[in-house]
Structure 1
Amino acid sequence: MTTTSRATAEIETLLGRHPKGFDLSLERVLRLLAELGDPHLDLPPTIHVAGTNGKGSVTAFIRAILEADGRAVHSHTSPHLVNWHERYRLASAPGKSRLVDDETLAEAVARAAKANADQPITVFEILTAVTFILFSEHPADMAIVEVGLGGRFDATNVMPKPAVSVITPISLDHQSFLGDRVELIAAEKGGIIKPGVPVVLGQQPEEVALEVLTSIADRVGAPLCVYGQDFFAYEEHGRMVYQDDHGLLDLPLPRLPGRHQIVNAATAIAALRQGPMPPSDAAVEKGMASVEWFGRMQRITTGPLLDIAVEGAEIWIDGGHNPGAGVAIAETLADMEERVQRPLFLIAGMINTKEPVGFFSAFAGMARRVFTVPVNMSEAGINPDELADAAIEAGLDAEPSNSVEEAIRLVSANWQMVPAPRFLICGSLYLVGEVLGRNGLAPQ
């Protein structure tokens, strides 16, 4: 799957024909789906996942547990990191799945584009229709569909009755689309809550978000399952303890690092226990150990970036890009620091729809220096000089750099002390995707 693949060529043609970005509405995608025979009405039982932070991780946990239980599972996530194909994972056998192959994706994209017949639409809406084509035409026991942006008017929100709705932690992000207050964003995310469909709420850092979501669930008659009230999880003696009305599970810590991943894992378990195919305890345990999610507190262990770093250095990547994600990443790094103290250097790139000062504030007092770099994969990248000013405003030492590689070389040339430094490449999924692609680490 290279950039010259047939599917990529089909999607690039769409990008040249239709406006970029989001135009939140359901009318266009419903029209297109009707032309395609309404594939969104012919899905396996589906878990619908919205939220500001943790959507992808919760999706990864749900899939890992279901596959450990021998289920055939489709999953849709967005955005992708390196290849468009990453958005569509299709069940290939009980307990197994794979990224969609190029010909299957290209054919589905071409079919959706032809059905649209050049009528006004966004590319994300066409690609969401592709999700429903693929998931309706390939057999599976269950599907997981991650929201693209918001919830109420997101193109994925055309499913009339998913098996379970999940809403992960909500914080400020995409304010130009969703509103500049947490309660407004919560109202948009809560738009995926459907009458009679169980809704699972992950840990909400803002009480007002919980109040809004609870009110929506009560109003439409959706059974509610809330982290901290109906289910709990915590670390104890190097293990993860999960508890709900069904009982207590003593589990290994999730393979994904960070305290926030314990909450994400718990949210996934609760969602599955509310759904039509609750997993065995053994499958939950196996899923904790087998889960994978690229670009989120992922350590780079091979490739050219390590070759240019000072010997013994650690390189981590995380695509988190809003204040809530910054807090979660900083907590994870603080836990690492308790085990092995290393000087921390951030290499950050961000796009102009984000709030850089809020993101960087979480790292004040932790990072020795921030190197700000261009985001080459997006036209909306913040100029490194401007981004460095934002990091300085957040209380960090910062300077612009021309590239990730230049920043690593600069630190490595001037840091000969023990222990070797820890680098975190962060601030944008576009930047993380670029790093993974150049290091030959595209998700499989």
Structure 2
Amino acid sequence: MDLHPKEIDLSLDRTWRLLDALGNPQDSLPPVIHIAGTNGKGSTLAMLRAGLEHAGKRVHAYTSPHLVRFHERIRLAGREISEDALCELLERTLAANAGHAVTFFEATTCAAFVAYAEVPGDVLLLEVGMGGRMDTTNVVSHPNLTVITPVAFDHQAFLGDTLAAIASEKAGILKRGVPCVVGRQQEEALDVIEAAAARLGVPLIARGQHWHVWEERGRLVFQDEQGLLDLPLPVLTGRHQIDNAGTALAALRALGHGEATCEAAVTRAVWPARMQRLRHGPLAAAAPDAELWLDGGHNAHASQAIAATLADLPRRPTHLVFAILANRDPADVLAPLAELAESLTAIAIPDEAASAAPDDVADAASQLGIPASVAPDVTVAVREIADRDPAARIVICGSLYLAGKVLEAAGDHGST
């Protein structure tokens, strides 16, 4: 497929052209829940999927990026797309594209829309790739519901260098008259979302105004205008998952679902590489007495969530194994973790040309006061930490690409 030369090029012109060549599948989708935000999109979607599938719905889901296999991105009626179906779909998309310039994400998203239009489903959970306003997924004219999870700084080169600018891009998924569930936001971002909603006559269902969520006595308590829910804590680890659960619950309630669906959302969700405990596989064997965690968070907001989660765990010496893409500032991502980390071992992301140099990452960590070293790969890093501190808590983090490589090595393709 002849791809557009730019890896990221926010525009909808190529998407509209290709969709038209494919017969405009975006006009034949099942009811759509469109989800934007900086962090928490995937966890919120995973909870929505768990709840809706428990309610007997045939749930399509579109997420990105994948961790190990591309197939993870396209779920059809509860299952990852098969190899044969994916190949046939991409061949059809290649033929329809007829050699025109198109990006990888545009082509594969258009292909996914064909599958979602042709395979019977009751709902499509559609996650934005980047931003919202000019994202390839933003071609659905009338979704049933939109969702905006927390907005934070990320992809500033494409979305703007202020929180207001980034929030404006995220609010681009709002559609006239279609309700929008809004997760926890900083005031600057919320002001922008509220202004956009007012212009379009969008009913907002906003955290802190129309719904509230909190932890009380080891339970999750959710309250909205329909009443109170007293539920188990989310199965996904971390206090930030309380907020993500609240967003998912508000969306389910807006769609008319009851307590059983809501409980399934928080107790049955699966979302790999988000504060995932690694108990099996070669890394666990390399550090049998250590506590291993994996997280794909790759911006400061995600690191704050990791730090909060670690602070809630029983005290244990914490060591980081860290890799990051070269287009990100490691100091920004590491700063929230600096006070918790006893050490950092920098590695390169395997088979990733855009990985930051481990020496540069180690230098950034040292400047934050984190004792840092370099290792050739994640297994060596884990083994060296375990040799020094057998009962360590080891957190592998910094990049979803790294997380995917770790899961691939562990034989976990994130396909549960």
- Scaled to the shorter chain, the TM-score interval is over 0.9
**Cα shift at 1:314:** 1.1
Match of 1:180 in 2: 161
Distance 1:356 1:434 in 2: 19
Is the CA contact 2:3–2:101 (under 8 Å) kept in the aligned structure 1?
A: no
Aligned to 1:290: 268
Counterpart of 2:223 in structure 1: which amino acid?
Q
**Equivalent residues of 2:89, 2:115 under 8 A apart:** yes
Partners of 2:262 and 2:122 in 1: CA distance: 17
Distance 2:184 2:374 in 1: 36
The answer to whether structure 1 residue 225 and structure 2 residue 185 are counterparts is no
Match of 2:26 in 1: 40
Correspondence for 1:301: 279
Structure 2 equivalent of residue 55 of structure 1: 41
Aligned counterpart, 1:193: 174
Alpha-carbon distance, 1:19 to partner: 2.9
Task: Name the aligned partner's letter for residue 37 of structure 1.
Answer: G
Contact 2:67 2:405 in 1 (8 A): yes
After TM superposition, the score normalised by the length of structure 1 is: 0.91
8 Å CA contact 2:146, 2:180 repeated in 1: yes
Q: Residue 19 of structure 1 contacts residue 123 of structure 1 at CA under 8 Å; is this kept in 2? A: no
Tell me whether 1:354 sits opposite 2:325 in the alignment: no
SS at match of 2:315: coil
1:332 aligns with 2:303: no
**Alpha-carbon distance between aligned partners in 2 of 1:153 and 1:438, rounded to the nearest angstrom:** 35
Deviation at 1:20, TM superposition (A): 5.3
Structure 1 residue aligned with 2:218, among 210, 214, 238? 238
Per-residue CA shift, 1:63-103, capped at 9, x if unaligned?
A: 01111111111000000000000001111xxxxx1111111
Unaligned runs of 5+ in 1: 1-13, 92-96
Contact 1:152 1:191 in 2 (8 A): yes
Separation in 2, partners of 1:173, 1:425: 21
Question: Does residue 1:392 correspond to 2:351, yes or no?
Answer: no
Mapped partners of 1:51, 1:326: distance in 2 = 16
1:267 aligns with 2:247: yes
Out of 23-32 and 389-398, give the one that drifted further: 389-398
Local SS of the residue matching 1:362: helix
Q: Which moved more, 1:123-132 or 1:265-274?
A: 265-274
Report if aligned partners of 1:371, 1:388 keep a CA contact under 8 Å in 2. Answer: yes
Percent same amino acid among aligned pairs? 47
Give runs of aligned pairs for residues 59-98 of structure 1, distance below 5 A. Answer: 59-91=45-77, 97-98=78-79
What residue number does 1:366 align with?
Answer: 340
> Following TM superposition, by how much is the alpha carbon of 1:160 offset from its aligned partner in structure 2, in angstroms?
0.4
Is 1:376–2:350 an aligned residue pair?
yes
Q: How far off its partner does 1:179 sit? A: 1.3
2:411 paired residue number = 440
Q: Offset of 1:393 from its aligned partner?
A: 2.7
Question: What CA distance in whole angstroms lies between the structure 2 residues aligned with 1:35 and 1:252?
Answer: 47
Matched, 1:251 2:231: yes
TM-superposition CA deviations, 1:100-129 (whole Å, max 9, x none)? 111111111111111011101101000110
Aligned-partner SS, 1:283: helix
**TM-fit CA distance, 1:17:** 4.6
Q: Which amino acid aligns with 2:135?
A: D
Distance 2:265 2:132 in 1: 27
C-alpha distance in 1 between matches for 2:85 and 2:74: 11
Which whole-Å CA distance do the structure 2 matches of 1:55 and 1:386 have between them? 30
Q: Is the 8 A contact 2:317 2:342 kept in 1?
A: yes
Instruction: After superposition, give the CA deviation of every residue in 1:239-283 in whole Å (9 maximum; x if it has no partner).
Output: 0000001111000000001111011011011112223xx222112
1:59 to partner: Cα distance: 0.5
State the alpha-carbon separation in 2 of the partners of residues 380 and 186 from structure 1: 27
Please state if 1:149 is matched with 2:120.
no
* AA at the equivalent of 2:134: F
Query: Are the counterparts in 2 of residues 377 and 431 from structure 1 also a CA contact under 8 Å?
Result: no
Structure 2 unaligned segments of length 5 or more: list them.
none
Q: State the one-letter code of the partner of 1:83.
A: R
SS where residue 154 of structure 1 aligns? coil
The 1:20–1:441 alpha-carbon spacing in structure 2 relative to 1, beyond 3 Å, is farther
How many residues were matched structurally?
A: 415
5 Å-filtered alignment, 1:16-31, equals 17-19=3-5, 21-31=7-17
Matched position secondary structure for 2:337: coil
The residue type equivalent to 1:436 in the other structure is: L
Q: Which residue type is aligned with residue 140 of structure 2?
A: M
SS in 1 for 2:138: coil
Q: Which runs of 4+ in 1 moved over 6 A?
A: none
Q: Tell me how far apart the structure 1 counterparts of residues 79 and 351 of structure 2 sit (CA, whole Å).
A: 25
- Give the superposition deviation at 1:286: 2.2
The letter for the 2-side match of 1:297 is: M
**Aligned alpha-carbon RMSD (Å):** 1.2
Q: Write the distance in 2 (CA, Å) between the matches of 1:70 and 1:406.
A: 45
How far residue 18 of structure 1 moved from its aligned partner, in angstroms, is 4.2
Task: Please report the TM-score for the alignment, with normalisation by the length of structure 2.
Answer: 0.98
Determine if contact 1:323/1:355 at 8 Å carries over to the other structure. no
* Conservation of the 8 A alpha-carbon contact between 1:351 and 1:381: yes
**Match for 1:213 among 165, 170, 193?**
193
Equivalent-residue separation in structure 2 for 1:248 and 1:17 (angstroms): 50
